A and B are shown apart, each in its own frame.
Chain A
């Protein structure tokens, strides 16, 4: 049956970050590559010492919204 995806189907995939997106995203401040922390749902910029949150599968690439990394918790 070729039925369009249901609303529930959308919701379960929403938590996944699109692989193409992960490929092209960089830190908005340093333009350097990010590491994806799937467990904490964060994109980490080691150079800027910031962790950008991913909320409901949407990376929030705003430095104001990012968590600051301390010396030992990177």
Chain B
């Protein structure tokens, strides 16, 4: 399948924007991942004993996220940003923007929070650089994004099914950032004191079809530029369901699906932050601290 996309454009952002707009209009949008990430991010902000004057909160769901962030009492002026579609929720100032092309001036914000959007950007390192530049010195960046373990079972089931039914496999599940790479990415983007950790959530479904239906309701059907454009047959779906069940089914016959939420914390560098001392700048001997005698290696 050829696509007219530019190289490096993994995601079809236009398609994604349309699908998420549709999905969010549904009052029964399945927002369990967003609620969980919202609770976690709010908790993380509460633990930081500092106030941030101007904050940009980038989130498409849940609707009360900005209010919950405000309730922590840590944020002064909150600007709410939606990445994909214009929606009115409450009367706080809002914009529509994308992390990859952040429309804010350098050093203009004290805090940026990004909620479950960064897994869908085409240029994650570039987005992180722009976020770090937008922060004032000692500004805070908090983010939740889906990570590498996400939907690993579904990826496996599709690979098995497609290699059985056709001559090859097409990309069906988006690539997700690896937890181990995120720390280095944060550092490369210029963040100080980076912290990365993950939360794994296992959700069970009746079958793979029910899982795929729910993903569609979230607006997360295959958004890849290199996706197969041929329609999926009923037999293919049956093969995927069978492959999923054969490898992963629980004892009760339901199938598990893994979601991995990666949390990122990083600070814009500031001289007040702790740093390691330069090698050779020690003022106390290690031997004194340990109350022992120091031996030279050659004489021992």
Contacts and interface: CB of A to CB of B under 8 A. Distances in A.
Contact of A26 (B54, B77, B88, B104): B104
Interface string A4-23: 01000010011001101101
A34 to B, nearest CB: 8
Centre residue among A5, A18, A64 by max chain B CB count within 10 A: A18
A43 to B, nearest CB: 9
Contacts of B96: 58-62, 65
Contacts of A24: 54, 79, 104-105, 108-109
Given A20-B54, A55-B86, A58-B86, A26 B105 contact: yes
B95 interface: yes
A37 interface: no
Given A20-B54, A20-B79, A21-B79, A28 B102 contact: yes
Interface of A: 5, 10, 13-14, 17-18, 20-21, 23-29, 31, 33, 55-65
Contact of B95 (A29, A33, A61, A64): A61
Contacts of A20: 54, 77, 79, 93
Residue among A20, A21, A24, A59 facing the most chain B CB atoms (10 A cut-off): A24
Contacts of B97: 28, 61-62
Interface in B78-119: 79, 86, 88, 90-91, 93-98, 101-106, 108-109
A13 B91 contact: yes
A60 B86 contact: yes
Nearest to B83: A62
Contact of A18 (B88, B93, B103): B93
Interface of B: 14, 54, 77, 79, 86, 88, 90-91, 93-98, 101-106, 108-109
Nearest to B79: A21
A26 to B, nearest CB: 5
Q: Classify the secondary structure of A's interface with B.
A: mixed
A33 B104 CA distance: 9
6 contacts: A18-B93, A31-B105, A58-B94, A60-B96, A61-B103, A62-B97
A14 B90 CA distance: 10
B88 A25 contact: no
B79 A18 contact: yes
A57 B97 CA distance: 14
The 10 closest A-B pairs by CB, nearest first: A18-B93, A28-B101, A61-B103, A28-B103, A24-B108, A61-B97, A10-B91, A60-B96, A21-B93, A58-B94
Nearest to A16: B93
